[in-house]
Amino acid sequence: MICQKEMEINTMEIDSTFWVAISFIIFFGGLVYLKIPQKVNEILNKLILDIKNEIDESEKLRTEAKTLLDNAQKKLDTAKSVSNEILEQAKKDGDRLVIELNDKFHKTSEIKKNLNKNKIDQMKEAAIKEIKDASIKIALDSVKKIITTSVDKSKLDTLFQKNLHETKEELKKINS
């Protein structure tokens, strides 16, 4: 009996183990029959391919962004250098204009100085001429009076003194 029981237990154990193995084989057979591993593999491959495409696309975008950044940096550097050149040229032009204006100012000042000096010289000559003319007129008037009044020496001396005094007065008026 013990042997029979052992056999029954062994048969039972074999039976349950056997059925578990059979169901396991059927399950995997069903999976293979329904091509589930291939479908899972295809889905995983598709996901891998999608991820790979996204990585490639992001790499392209990163490369394009880097190219755009480099181009923008080059343009910025070019703009800075052009700006610096323009500033340098403006400084040079400004310095040159200051020098030119300074030279023109000095030349103009020198011309005005010379013109004023010439005017002063002309005015001086005109004043001297007026003094000479007035002196000659006074002298002529005095001579006329002397000749017309040809009188004795005492009258002549007084007349001379009077005319001399009048001449001095006239000269003082002209000078002031």
The model's pLDDT over 159-173, given as tens digits with 9 standing for 90+, comes to: 778 888 888 888 777
What integer pLDDT is reported at residue 70 of this predicted model? 93
| CA–CA distance, 93 with 74 (Å, rounded to integer) | 28
What integer pLDDT is reported at residue 15 of this predicted model? 75
Query: Dihedrals φ, ψ of 61, to 5°?
Result: -60, -40
CA 21 to chain centre: 88
Q: Which residues of 31-57 are buried (b: 16+ CB within 10 A; e: fewer)?
A: eeeeeeeeeeeeeeeeeeeeeeeeeee
What integer pLDDT is reported at residue 41 of this predicted model? 87
What integer pLDDT is reported at residue 145 of this predicted model? 74
pLDDT in tens, 75-130: 999 999 999 999 999 999 989 999 999 999 899 999 999 999 999 989 888 888 88
| CA–CA distance, 83 with 86 (Å, rounded to integer) | 5
- Total residue length of the chain: 176
| CA–CA distance, 137 with 34 (Å, rounded to integer) | 150
Q: Is the per-residue pLDDT at 7 higher than 70?
A: no
Alpha helices in 2-152 (DSSP H): 2-33, 36-148
**Are the beta carbons of 146 and 159 closer than 8 angstroms?**
yes
Q: Is the per-residue pLDDT at 157 higher than 90?
A: no
pLDDT in tens, 19-74: 888 888 998 888 778 788 888 888 999 999 999 999 999 999 999 999 999 999 99
Among the listed residues 175, 170, 176, the one whose alpha carbon sits nearest the alpha carbon of residue 136: 170
pLDDT grade for 11, boundaries at 50, 70 and 90: low
For 151: left if phi > 0, alpha if psi spans -120 to 50, otherwise beta; the answer is beta
